[in-house]
Structure 1
Amino acid sequence: MTAHWIAVARAAETLRADPLFLDSLAVEFVARTDPVLLADLRDNPTPRFDVLAVRTKFFDDFLSTAVRDGLRQVVIVAAGMDSRAYRLDLPAELRLFEIDLPDLQAGKEALLAELGLTNARCRRRAVAANMVGDWSARLRAAGFDPGERTAWLIEGFLYYLTDEQVEAVLDTVSRLSAEGSVLGLEHVNTDLYRAPWMQQWLADMRREGRPWQSGVDEPEAWLARHGFRSQVREPADLPEATGRRVPKTPPRPTPGAARTWLITAERAGEGPPGNRVADPRPKGTLR
């Protein structure tokens, strides 16, 4: 369901007169799964997907920068219908791993074959795995090299997990990241779960079987505990948000504001023991 929704958002952006990116795979996916909706998106452009479009462009730029800086190994976690292996300017020798559930991967591979998209711009490898299981073994078996610098992307995923599951994912990413690896990541803060205007939407998500379950209030400190130096932004901070319907938030640390964190980070060396934070859990997570 969530993979479908993100594909709809990217298709809607692609159909705009002033798109931030073009995602023809998303358009083809929606054409086959919900042609009535696709027709409506063509005829009635809507700003309701603006935040997702800004987020997508932010992480497109993150990966493009990592590749320009010489990284040749990318892992997209919970990839869904992601098409960056086909639409970004990537070198042919780059290895790009897409991890997601087996059923979703099978459906995506069938669609790619139907569309004749058998040759990505890089060495794309689909990894069928559950991210709350032992996914690292399957990633390694697909050819992932933990000794090589990696660009990780975790977009639109972590808030569906519990705090403990989020920690397990980040622990694994940290363990598999050579020094100089980079991470692009999205998460939310815990005040989001208390905002009055979010309650109906959160209730709807729970009823549909895809509840949001986690958040973090101090993302810089949280990622430092996992060995990453980070830079944190919010969607309204980005130049791509200009002219789009993207909610603005008050300056940090104003309490009570629902925030979406858009994060880029780099795997640092261990450094002196005294510089490391002992507490293994992010302060302010949901319980």
Structure 2
Amino acid sequence: MSSLTETAHWIACARAAESFRPDRLFDDPLAVEFIRRTAPDLYTELRSAPSSRFDTLAVRTKFFDDCLMRAVSESGHRQVVVLAAGMDGRAFRLPWPEGVTLYEVDLPEAVEEKAGFLASCGLATDRCSRVAVPADLTADWPSALLDAGFRSELPTVWLAEGVLYYLTEDQVDAVVGQVTELSSPGSVLCLEQVNTDLYRAPWMREWLQQMRDEGRPWRSGVADPETWLAHRGWHAVVREPCDLAEATGRLVPRTPPRGVSGAARTWLVRADLVNATAAA
């Protein structure tokens, strides 16, 4: 099992934990069933004592849920791509409009594991047309996506959540460049990334070392996401978890205003492709 597949399991734990809370921001039955089957002791613990240790991840999930729903509801987009989907349950739990096709791109072993789990539990019913695409984001994943039926001439909603900081800066630039090349005008890009100061913050050193020791090192960051994406033709609106209304009353770290150096930040981005010439 790859380290990124293990990360997908951890995200499922976080979403299951949120689903047990009486004040939950979302309900993810797929994550709950996955944890019940694979980590029964943790399942029992979370049911009896809902935890706040995943609050930032819950706020992040809710932010991207809303971004995706606005894009398909207000803009009429019917093609969605989730990169490094893992055990993501959005195909099963979000109220997708009729006609949506959702492509889940992930490592072949992750796609196989999820398919086996879905077949065994009999729990999930797709609320859209879900297409699993086994591919490595550091290889030729666009060809696999196109072979699976993706149509680059249609406006697309993209989601890259919880994955980019595991890639090198060159790999991230390549992925965003490939997304841009596959996108027609009006496409929407939702992504998460961290800032470069995060890697210099003293209070992050121990945690970053732990991630390296577990084989899941964080490798990249972006200091100015608006400018970074503007160079590729995208107009980005950037938030941090603590900015969101859903963070009220949650254990979400506060950060100082933008422009204050030395702060570890998580960027939550919704970007629209507005300059097809720059993208090309």
Would you call these one fold, judging by a TM-score over 0.5?
A: yes
Q: Which residue of 2 aligns with 1:149?
A: 155
Q: What 5-or-longer segments of structure 2 have no aligned partner?
A: 1-5
2:189 is paired with a residue whose SS is: strand
Q: Which residue of 1 aligns with 2:198?
A: 192
Deviating more after overlay: 189-198 vs 112-121: 112-121
Q: Separation in 2 of the partners of 1:179 and 1:173?
A: 12
Q: Would you say 1:220 and 2:226 are equivalent positions?
A: yes
Which residue of 244, 248, 262 corresponds with 1:256?
262
Q: Separation in 2 of the partners of 1:118 and 1:58?
A: 23
2:131 is paired with a residue whose SS is: strand
Q: Separation in 2 of the partners of 1:249 and 1:225?
A: 26
For 2:116, give the aligned amino acid.
A
Q: Would you say 1:49 and 2:39 are equivalent positions?
A: no
Q: Separation in 2 of the partners of 1:153 and 1:117?
A: 24
Q: Would you say 1:79 and 2:85 are equivalent positions?
A: yes
Runs of 4 or more above 2 Å deviation: none
Render the CA deviation track for 1:209-261: whole Å, top value 9, x for unaligned: 00000000000000111210000000000000000010111111100000000
Deviation at 1:88, TM superposition (A): 0.4
Say whether the 8 Å CA contact 1:151–1:181 is kept in structure 2: yes
Q: Separation in 2 of the partners of 1:81 and 1:162?
A: 23
Where does 1:61-80 land on structure 2 (aligned, <5 Å)?
61-68=66-73, 69-80=75-86
Where does 1:133-282 land on structure 2 (aligned, <5 Å)?
133-270=139-276
Q: TM-score, normalised by structure 2?
A: 0.95
Q: Separation in 2 of the partners of 1:91 and 1:137?
A: 27
Which residue of 4, 13, 28 corresponds with 1:23?
28
Q: TM-score, normalised by structure 1?
A: 0.93
Render the CA deviation track for 1:41-64: whole Å, top value 9, x for unaligned: 112222110000000000000000
For 1:20, give the aligned amino acid.
L
Q: What 5-or-longer segments of structure 1 have no aligned partner?
A: 278-287
Deviation at 1:114, TM superposition (A): 1.4
Q: Separation in 2 of the partners of 1:12 and 1:77?
A: 23
1:252 is paired with a residue whose SS is: coil
Say whether the 8 Å CA contact 1:73–1:148 is kept in structure 2: yes
Say whether the 8 Å CA contact 1:202–1:211 is kept in structure 2: yes
Aligned-pair identity in percent equals: 58
Deviation at 1:119, TM superposition (A): 3.8
Q: Separation in 1 of the partners of 2:217 and 2:174?
A: 19
Deviation at 1:117, TM superposition (A): 4.5
Q: Which residue of 2 aligns with 1:285?
A: none
Say whether the 8 Å CA contact 2:234–2:273 is kept in structure 1: yes
